């Protein structure tokens, strides 16, 4: 997939665990894990907004586009 999810990088930068982010964003641990591993097919803007608020970052810090060649 051409969309790369850098959620683990932002979490490491902010020193935040998956459990802590899950509680702050109010999303299940399993759904957050699916997003973190890049296996999610979609993400709601409200979820992305909550993650950005919790990690104090921009959507572009989490999502990256790398065209497949």
Question: What's the pLDDT score for residue 1?
Answer: 64
Question: What's the pLDDT score for residue 2?
Answer: 87
Enumerate the H helices of 1-69 as residue ranges: 7-13, 18-25, 29-36, 45-55, 59-62
What does the pLDDT profile of the chain (69 residues) look like in tens digits? 689 999 999 999 999 999 999 999 999 999 999 999 989 999 999 999 999 999 999 999 999 999 887
In angstroms, the Cα distances linking 7 to 39, 66, 69 are 12, 16, 24
Nearest to 21 by CA among 6, 11, 31, 34: 11
Number of domains in the chain: 1
pTM of the model: 0.90
Domain assignment of residue 46, given as a range: 3-65
* CATH (domain of 56): 1.10.260.40
């Amino acid at each position: 997939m051409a969309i790369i999810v850098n959620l683990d990088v932002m979490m490491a930068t902010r020193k935040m665990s998956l459990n802590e982010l899950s509680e702050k964003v109010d999303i299940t641990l399993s759904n957050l894990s699916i997003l973190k591993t890049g296996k999610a097919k979609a993400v709601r803007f409200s979820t992305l907004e909550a993650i950005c608020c919790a990690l104090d970052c921009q959507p572009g810090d989490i999502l990256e586009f790398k065209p497949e060649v």
